Every structure is written in C-alpha cells, then in structure tokens.
C-alpha cells in the first residue's frame, strides 16, 4: 500500500485533485488531504507518506520548507510540486533534488496523473528489490552475522553478562553497530508461510535475505543489528542513528519511521522472496538489563494478534518490572525448543512435521525402548500442556490425557493422540484469531456510524484502533466484504438520505454532519452516488410523503 498526501491551501484545488486521483482507483493507493503545510506536517509526524503532491507557495510553512522536513523524516518519499507561480528559484531548487518533480497548475490533470503514476512505478521498482538483494549480497558477511546472532541469543536468554564494559568490548570485537550504553527498541519478525519442505540451508538463506532487506530499509535513520532467534524468527535491536551534528530522532519519531519502513519491507519480502512476515515493535526503548524480559513479553504479545498476522506491524507498549524473570518455560532439548517455537508462532505445518520426526522412533516400532518412548512422549506433551496452561485453553482443548502415557494401548496410539491434540490447538488458535478480528472490525464499524462528521481516513482510524493502515484495510475488507472507504461512503450516504427525508436541517448542514465541510463536495458526492442532487432527492422524498 502506498500513501499519497495532497497539500494545498486552496481547498477547491486540494479537493479537486484528491477526487481526480481517487477516481483512478489505483489498487492499494491511500489518498490523504491537507489544507496547509502545518496540517501536512501532522500527517508526516503520524504515519509514513510515500508521495507528497504539494503547492510551493503556502502561508506558515511553504512547500520547500515541507520538502526539507520530508527528506529528514521519510527519505524515500517522492515529491511532486504543483504551483501557479512561475518562480524560477523555487523550480530550480526543486528539480536539483532526486525524487522531486515540478508541475504548473496550468498543465492540466492528464500531466498530473502521469507524474503520479510515474512516482508509483518508481516505488514499485524499489519493492521488486532485485538491486537491493544484489547490494545486500555484496555486504553480507555470514560469519560476522552468525557470530552476532549467537552472542545476542545468549544475551536474550540471560546466559551472557550484560555489564556496560563487557557489552562495549563484545560490540567492538563482533562489529555490532550499536551503542552499549544507550537503550534499544526491539522488532520481532515472525515468518507466516510454512517452510517445512525447505532444507536448513534454504531457510537460513531466506532468513538472511529478509534480515538484510530490513536492515537496508531501517538504515536511513537508524543503526540496527538483526539476528535469527532460537525459534527461527528474526529479531532486530534498533537505536537512532548518531549523525554527529544532527540531532538524533526522538523516540516517537523513530517508532513512526520504523513502522513505515517495516510496511515497505513486508511488501518487498512478499514480492522478491515470496515470504510473508509479521512484525511486533516495542513502542519505547528498554535498557540492556531488561532485554530478556522485554523480548519474552513481545513474543507473548505477538501471540495475541488479531487475524492471521499477514501485513501486520503491531507496536506494543511493554512494561516489564526491573529484574522480572522470563516467562518462558525451559525446554530440555533443542528439538523441543524448536517445537515450542513453532507452536508459539502458529506454524502448524512445521510443528506437525517436527513432531512426526521426533516420534519416528516410536511409530511402527513395537520393539522400541519404553524409556525412550516415554521420554519422547512426555517431552512433546509438556510442550503442549505448557502452552494450554499459559493460554488458558483447558476448556477448549481437553488435556486430561496428555500426561497419561500408559493409558494408550500402543505407542502408535499415543503418537496419534499427540498429533490430534496439536491439530486441536492450531484450530483453536485459528478460531480465536478470526473471532478477535470480527469483534474488532465490528467495533470500528460502530465507531464510523457514530462519528460520520469526523475525519475517517484510514490513517486516523488505524491510529485510533492501534493498527497499521495496510493491515486494518486488509482485515476490514476480509471481515466485511468491502473496502473501508466503501463502507464509510455507504454509511454517509445512508445517513444523508435519512436527514434529507426530514425537515429541519439545511442541505449544507447535513453535508457537515456526514463529513463534508464544503457544500460543493457534498453535492458532488451525493450526485455521484445517487444520480441526483441532494435538493432533488429531498423534493422527491417530500413528494412521496
């Protein structure tokens, strides 16, 4: 999804351009409107913007001043200047900067549409990322990455000392591009598409490709270190980039930037690598001493996501007590750690494939050693029992027989029973995700119905309900069978028809109550939907009465 922001202090021009671009029905293009440079700044501070179409001459904050802010906050954003002034100095400055275009208002909508489409093509080309993968391959240092990963896995498990001096020494020797005395933000990335058929080498290669792609997107304004964690998922530790004389990004600015870049990285991973990945980002930095507790907490919160996680970037506020112990139950074997990881992350195919591999010595072997069979059975059963207890699923997935190995007539029957419990767990999880999604989308629909006079843009709603815009858009359509914008238009039209059929309110007042400050915009919207003007509809309704 791309986000285009139209900025002009003349409302009739801003509304007209927004309507024309909206009529193109470009898939995945979310169009926002600002009526001043300061209002545009609010958008830039709250969400990622990919294309800005702006007037140059505006009071308070000019287009060129806005351009400087855009380049600091969203370096990959394309800018198209639209002005009625033949200002040579402004034009000259604009055209010297890569990613900036210039148009006169007299050139017409056809030229404007062509420039917007060209900007979208440039963004699409970036997302294909062939050149990004080539650049990543050149800078890839496999041994360095693996060494960093092993160090951080030890740190996350609390097995490695986290004193400042030791951190500085280790960071220097391992070429870790982070400051040992500054707090860090965490980003956890979970693979959603099963990779059970792939070899270990292929899975490792794909994880490294994703890591380097995300590194590149984050590198504009941050310094980060990415690793593959013990569950086979990805984890990044992120800090603001130290630019010397330039002030470092504030916590809020950094979080907004990382959210936006993770959305782009998701699309790049999907298109270039065929990989779907969901992200969880901490909304505030944590100290290195609290790192293990915060890491455990964001993994737990990722489990409670709404929907299937595809296209999800979830920002969470993690409040862990100083010195709190990790919540994860220890697993005795690396294979069972991986089993627990697949269960935690919802990877059913990977879980079942590994479970069958673990239980292979039991299946079809009546001469198998009983002690070995019991150890394998109870180790796998403990993974599932721990999950059931921590998620409080006892009434949904009966677990009475999990710890009763001797109740099964044969070892084969016991293995089949473990598989049946595992399948029930994944089915329960799937139903829970769907139920939470339906409830959340119903709440959003009710909010829209009760706030038609307010700004109901995708970005505003996503902030209000704590989703990233592309994820909200996809889940809303999945649950309601229509786009969010279509739902809003239908709600506004329905309310407008109800009020027009009644006396007491003027047409321009009705327009304001359904979200249209400009009478002209309300009339245009109504006529496009109904084929008649609001006045004609009112007269017809009175005639039927």
Asked whether the beta carbons of 260 and 48 are under 8 A apart, the reply is yes
User: What is the percent of the chain with per-residue pLDDT over 90, rounded to a whole number?
Assistant: 38
- pLDDT tens digits for range 44-89: 999 999 999 999 888 889 888 999 999 899 988 999 998 775 665 5
Residue 243 has pLDDT above 60, yes or no: no
What mean pLDDT is predicted for residues 476-504?
91
Question: 174 and 267: one domain?
Answer: yes
Question: 199 and 282: one domain?
Answer: yes
Question: 87 and 182: one domain?
Answer: no
Q: For residue 324, is it within any domain?
A: no
Q: For residue 56, is it within any domain?
A: yes
What mean pLDDT is predicted for residues 146-173?
82
Rounded Cα distance between 456 and 448, Å, is 7
CATH number for 292: 3.30.70.270
Question: 242 and 387: one domain?
Answer: no
Number of structural domains (the chain) is: 4
Question: 138 and 266: one domain?
Answer: yes
Q: For residue 441, is it within any domain?
A: no
- pLDDT tens digits for range 401-446: 788 888 888 888 888 899 999 998 998 888 887 777 888 899 999 9
At 129 the pLDDT is 62
Question: 252 and 379: one domain?
Answer: no
The range of the structural domain enclosing residue 496 comes to: 451-544
What mean pLDDT is predicted for residues 172-198?
83
Question: 152 and 251: one domain?
Answer: yes
Of 432, 459, 490, which residue is a domain's last? 432
Question: 391 and 457: one domain?
Answer: no
CATH number for 91: 3.40.50.2300
Question: 137 and 266: one domain?
Answer: yes
Other C-beta atoms closer than 10 Å to the C-beta of 34 total 22
Q: Pairing state of beta strands 222-228 and 313-316?
A: unpaired
Question: 529 and 426: one domain?
Answer: no
Residue 191, SS3?
A: strand
Question: 186 and 299: one domain?
Answer: yes
Rounded Cα distance between 373 and 361, Å, is 8
CATH number for 464: 1.10.10.60
Of 404, 432, 460, which residue is a domain's last? 432
Of 128, 162, 182, which residue is a domain's last? 128
Question: 60 and 99: one domain?
Answer: yes
Pick the closest to residue 376 from 401, 390, 356, 346 (CA basis).
356
Q: For residue 500, is it within any domain?
A: yes
């Amino acid at each position: 999804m791309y986000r285009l922001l139209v900025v002009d202090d003349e409302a009739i021009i801003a509304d007209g351009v927004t309507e024309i671009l909206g009529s193109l029905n470009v898939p995945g293009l979310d169009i926002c409107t600002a009526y001043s440079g300061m209002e545009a700044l609010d958008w830039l501070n709250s969400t990622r913007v990919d294309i800005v179409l702006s007037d140059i001459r505006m009071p308070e904050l000019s287009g060129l001043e806005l351009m400087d802010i855009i380049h600091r906050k969203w370096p990959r954003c394309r800018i198209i200047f639209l002005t009625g002034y033949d200002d040579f100095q402004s034009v000259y400055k604009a055209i010297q900067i890569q990613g900036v275009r210039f148009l006169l208002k007299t050139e017409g909508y056809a030229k404007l549409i062509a420039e917007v489409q060209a900007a979208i093509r440039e963004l699409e080309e970036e997302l294909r990322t062939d050149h990004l993968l080539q650049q990543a391959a050149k800078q890839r240092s496999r041994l360095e990455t693996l060494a960093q990963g092993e160090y951080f896995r030890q740190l996350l498990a609390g097995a490695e000392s986290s004193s400042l001096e030791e951190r500085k020494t280790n960071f220097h020797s391992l070429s870790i591009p982070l400051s040992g005395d500054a707090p860090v933000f965490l980003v956890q990335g979970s693979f959603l598409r099963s990779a059970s058929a792939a070899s270990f080498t292929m899975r490792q290669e794909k994880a490294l490709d994703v890591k380097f792609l995300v590194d590149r997107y984050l590198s504009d304004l941050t310094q980060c270190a990415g690793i593959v964690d013990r569950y086979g998922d990805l984890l990044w530790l992120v800090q603001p980039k130290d630019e010397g004389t330039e002030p470092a990004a504030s916590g809020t600015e950094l979080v907004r930037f990382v959210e936006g870049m993770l959305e782009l990285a998701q699309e790049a991973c999907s298109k270039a690598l065929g990989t779907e990945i969901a992200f969880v980002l901490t909304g505030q930095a944590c100290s290195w001493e609290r790192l293990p507790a915060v890491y455990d907490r964001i993994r737990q919160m990722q489990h409670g996501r709404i929907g299937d996680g595809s296209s999800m970037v979830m920002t969470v506020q993690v409040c862990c007590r100083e010195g709190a112990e990790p919540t994860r139950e220890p697993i005795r074997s690396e294979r069972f750690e991986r089993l627990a990881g697949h269960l935690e992350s919802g990877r059913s195919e990977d879980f079942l494939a590994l479970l069958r591999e673990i239980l292979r010595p039991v299946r079809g072997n009546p001469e198998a050693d009983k002690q070995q069979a019991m150890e394998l059975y109870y180790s796998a059963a403990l993974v599932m029992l721990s999950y059931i207890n921590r998620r409080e699923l006892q009434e949904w997935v009966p677990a009475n027989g999990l710890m009763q190995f001797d109740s099964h007539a044969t070892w084969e029957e016991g293995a089949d029973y473990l598989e049946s419990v595992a399948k029930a767990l994944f089915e329960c999880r799937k139903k829970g995700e769907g139920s939470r999604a339906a409830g959340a989308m119903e709440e959003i629909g009710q909010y829209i119905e009760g706030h038609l006079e307010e700004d109901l843009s995708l970005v505003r709603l996503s902030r209000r309900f704590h989703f990233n815009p592309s994820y909200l858009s996809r889940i809303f359509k999945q649950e309601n069978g229509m786009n969010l914008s279509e739902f809003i238009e239908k709600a506004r039209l329905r309310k407008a028809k109800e009020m027009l059929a009644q006396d007491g309110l003027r047409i321009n007042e009705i327009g304001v109550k359904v979200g249209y400050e400009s009478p002209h915009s309300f009339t245009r919207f109504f006529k496009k939907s109904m084929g008649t003007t609001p006045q004609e509809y009112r007269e017809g309704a009175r005639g039927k009465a």
